[in-house]
Amino acid sequence: MKKIFFFALFFVALVSATAQKQPVDYADPLLGTSESRWMLNPGATMPFGMVQLSPDNQGGVWKSGYEYSLNNIGGFSHIHSWTMAGLSVMPTVGALNTRRGPADGPTTGWTTGYRSRIYKETEQASPGYYAVKLMNGDITTELTSTTRAGFFRFSYSDEEDAHILLDLDIPFENTAEILDAKITKVSDKEIEGYSKQKWSWNDYTVHFVVRFNRPIESFGGWVGNKVTKDTTAIAGKGKMGAYADFKTKKGDVILMQTAISLVSIEQARLNLETEMNPFNWNFDGVRDNAKNTWNALLGKIQIEGGSDVDRKKFYTNLYRSYVARTTWSDVNGKYVDVNEIVRQVDKNSPVYGSDALWNTFWNLNQLWALVNPDLTSNWVRSLLEIYKTGGWLPKGPAGIEYSGIMEASHEIPLIVGAYQKGIRDFDVNKAFEAMLHQQTTPGVVTPEGGYAGNKFFESYMKLGFVPTEEGQVSNTLEYAYDDWCVSQMAKALGKKKEYDMFIKRAGNYKNVFDTSVKYIRMKHKDSTWVKEWNPYCCTSFSGPGYLEGNAWQYSFFNPHDVQGILNLMGKDEFNNRLDEGFEKSARFNFNAEGDLYDRVPINHGNQPNMQASWLFNYSGKPWLTQKWTREIMSKYYGATAYHGWLGDEDEGQMGAWYVMAAMGLFQTDGGASTKPFYEIGSPLFEKVTINLDPEYYPGQTFTIEAHNTSDVNRYIQSATLNGQPLTKPWFYHADLVKGGSLVLEMGPEPNMQWGSKDEDAPPSMSARPKKKK
């Protein structure tokens, strides 16, 4: 926290001196909120906030939550975490109505529920704040938050019979069943309650406390269609909620503070009192705190040059990289583990929940480790805490449960990458033990119906590949990459036996590369190739094929050994196939619309080939990396509510990729090698300054200057690193974190000599073939 406040004060001084907009002013939470996921919304939240307070206007559909094109709101709910929701709030006036009503038919009347149209022109969103005026009652509703608590400000335009509804039944992507719930009025200003809910394998209880700045005049609730008035408690299951009534006059303001916990009501109250009491009902104080916290985080990267649109895209994508994953430990460090046991950790070492870490090595891992190594450290310790109490590293610990989402165990590259970059303030021996267990033990179905560990792993260890009779051939590639990551950790720790075993297994991708067609191909248990096959076939979500991709895409999926694929495919075939794929995909803005992954070669809208544009650095044509990374930044990414990220922006992954690419940096191998390095692309801005964390990195700042950069001048003509000529399209992480500068001279035509020699390519596991004499 001291570092956050230091950066906040630094940027306040900077802005005062230059009268320029602050980084937080460029971040727009409304960007991309049409067709976005439940976890990506315009609401008020802190980095990795437990409370993600946001408007909801859709039903229980895929990509539900908030849809920008719908001109109504059905409630403001507290939890927008993957597979999880909880406690929706809605202010209404007039006759009491306890039915939300359909998303496509809101009015102010009884027949369609309490859902209200909005005055769209009044809608505002900035990091940590959201506001809108509801047509039903002309109520201006404002939201802000701390990490675990929410703050509402309702301003009324007239004398009204006002109701504030607390609805526990919330439609979302994974609508939960309410098994047991109770809401109690405990004083004339305070309400408490809980809602035990379940979706599939995720069983969790949302505990909450709600308090007002003025006395409640009457309290009631509903279960199903039965409404009970003038009571002190409502209990039941299914569709249910409660309401607090007030008489308002013109100009009245009602303040409401809330907090949640997965542990207990007492813990929710502790979260509320700890985080909200210091502000003493000062809504604007909480809003300013959120703004300053976000500005400190976003301001760790300063950019110069570029247009306002470029800046908006940059800081909004940076914001998205920290907004969707969730803190599930309370202010004192208590949390509920995978076995539903209350545990205690250091309050400064939070336990996180999230969707999968599937392929985050191409986006979030490298951004977090570079800009916020302290948060990377927190993530590693959180993963190890779950291993310690549950016996397995989690893939995507929604609500601290083993979800089984997604494939492989790509939490491993996050841990290994942290260690290799010098982020080592965690139990290193425990980390290696956990990874060794994960990569030598077949996965299991957990008691609640989730999955821990790797599926199809017994066959993988026995055969060296995943046979089509069992699952996706693409899992072979992902398992092999994780094996390589473990080998690099073993190498760094001097564990030769383990290194030898895992470096051998890291080459298992070769077992499913058919040299006769030069593609990754589905294979039977008897090692014969599947005959009914083509490069664009067989996208799979379960069963045989290629997970959310096709053979064309996965044939380039080899993060740790791009040279190995070059050796198998041949450099000319590699370059021609890849470049032609980009040319074709540019017409579709590099996105497989409607999740039709078979249709386009380069599908930046999903994880399996987000590295594709960077591969030309390995194949002697770095100018094509410079060209195509720019094209993706321009075509795939937008700056409006309707065009932010065209595909599935999984909890900040697309955002983090943009930030790294805009700085001109990337790590195809996820930064997990014993000497991590960055590949170089085409920086979007004339100058980028990265403020390095002094607790982890010795340098104060690292700057990236791209002289004369523009959409036309996207090609590197020459480069220097710390004043010395740089002739290769990559450099070591150690050179960055000791401070210094990368200076690029940009121009309108490719310099086909720079970085194009075989020996200029970044490191890979396999050696380059020897040149014929």
Per residue in 469-485, pLDDT tens?
999 999 999 999 999 99
471 and 408 Cβ atoms separated by less than 8 Å:
no
What count of Cα atoms within 13 Å lies in the side-chain half-sphere of residue 714?
A: 20
Could you tell me the CA-to-CA distances from 653 to 54, 604, 607, 610, 763 in Å, in that order? 21, 11, 8, 10, 24
Distance CA 667, CA 733 (A): 10
Q: Which fold has domain 2-297?
A: Beta-galactosidase; Chain A, domain 5 (2.70.98)
Q: Using pLDDT thresholds of 50, 70 and 90, give the confidence band for residue 773.
A: low
Looking at the predicted structure, is the pLDDT value of residue 661 above 60? Answer: yes
Which pLDDT band, with edges at 50, 70 and 90, does 6 fall under? very low
Instruction: Give tens-digit pLDDT for 106-115.
Output: 554 444 799 9
Q: Cβ(108)–Cβ(64) under 8 Å?
A: no
**Helix, strand, or coil here: 391?**
coil
> Residue 527 half-sphere exposure, CB side, CA atoms within 13 Å?
5
3-class DSSP state of 226: strand
- pLDDT score of 404: 86
Polymer length of the chain? 773
Question: How far is 513 from 523, CA to CA, in rounded Å?
Answer: 10
Q: Nearest 5 degrees, angle CA 341-CA 346-CA 351?
A: 60
3-state secondary structure of 181: strand
pLDDT tops 60 at residue 615: yes
List the domain boundaries for the chain: 2-297
CA distance 116 to 114: 6
Q: Cα separation of 376 and 414, whole Å? A: 8
> Is residue 10 scored above 50 in pLDDT?
no
The string of DSSP letters for 650-693 reads -TTHHHHHHHHHHHTEE-TTTT-SSS-EEEE---SSSEEEEE--
143-154 pLDDT tens trace = 999 999 999 999
For the segment 122-142, the average pLDDT, to the nearest whole number, is: 97
Residue 527 has pLDDT above 60, yes or no: yes
Mean pLDDT of the chain: 94
Ramachandran angles phi, psi of 675, nearest 5°: -125, 85
pLDDT greater than 90 at residue 20: no
pLDDT tens digits along 438-461: 999 999 999 888 899 999 999 999
Q: How far apart are CA 512 and CA 527, in angstroms?
A: 9
Q: Which two tokens stand for residue 111?
A: 């027949």
Which residues, in sequence order, are bridge partners of residue 704? 688, 742
DSSP state at residue 28: -
33 token code pair? 């909120």
Query: Does residue 594 surpass a pLDDT of 80?
Result: no
What's the average model confidence in pLDDT over 322-329? 97
Lowest mean pLDDT among 150-154, 631-635, 650-654, 675-679: 650-654
Q: So what's the pLDDT on residue 106?
A: 58
Average pLDDT over residues 616-628: 98
At residue 476's C-alpha, the angle toward residues 472 and 482, to 5°, is 130
What letter does residue 523 receive in the DSSP assignment? B
User: Whole-angstrom Cα distance, residue 422 to residue 362?
Assistant: 19
Binning pLDDT at 50, 70 and 90, where does residue 679 land? very high
Residues 6+ apart with CB under 8 A from 53: 43, 44, 45, 76, 77, 78, 130, 143, 144, 145, 150
| Confidence grade of residue 599 (pLDDT, cut at 50, 70, 90) | confident
Q: What pLDDT was estimated at residue 647?
A: 84
The set of residues, in sequence order, having a beta carbon less than 8 Å from that of 756 and lying 6+ positions away, is 620, 621, 622
Between CA 277 and CA 213 the distance in angstroms is 12
Quote the tokens at residue 558.
């080899």
The one-letter amino acid at 72:
N
> How far apart are the C-alpha atoms of 556 and 753, rounded to whole Å?
24
Quick one: tokens of 228?
A: 């009970």
Q: Which amino acid appears at position 576 of this protein? A: N
Distance in angstroms (rounded) separating the CA atoms of residues 733 and 674: 11
596-603 — which CB contacts under 8 Å span 24+ positions?
Answer: 597/539, 597/548, 597/549, 597/550, 597/553, 598/536, 598/537, 598/538, 598/539, 598/550, 599/536, 601/552, 601/553, 602/553, 603/549, 603/553, 603/647
Percent of the chain with pLDDT over 70: 96
Q: Are strands 326-327 and 177-187 parallel, antiparallel or unpaired?
A: unpaired
Does pLDDT of 543 surpass 90? Answer: no
- Please tell me the predicted confidence (pLDDT) of residue 109: 43
**pLDDT-derived band at 711, boundaries 50, 70, 90:** very high
**456 — phi, psi (to 5°)?**
60, 20
Q: What is residue 598's predicted lDDT score, i.e. its pLDDT? A: 73
- Picking from 360, 466, 358, 351, the residue whose alpha carbon sits closest to that of residue 409 is 358
Between 293 and 537, name the one with better pLDDT.
293
**Rounded distance between C-alpha atoms, residue 123 and residue 426, angstroms:** 43
Q: What is the pTM of this model?
A: 0.95
User: What is the average pLDDT across 359-365?
Assistant: 97
**pLDDT, mean of residues 400-428:** 96
14 has pLDDT over 50: no
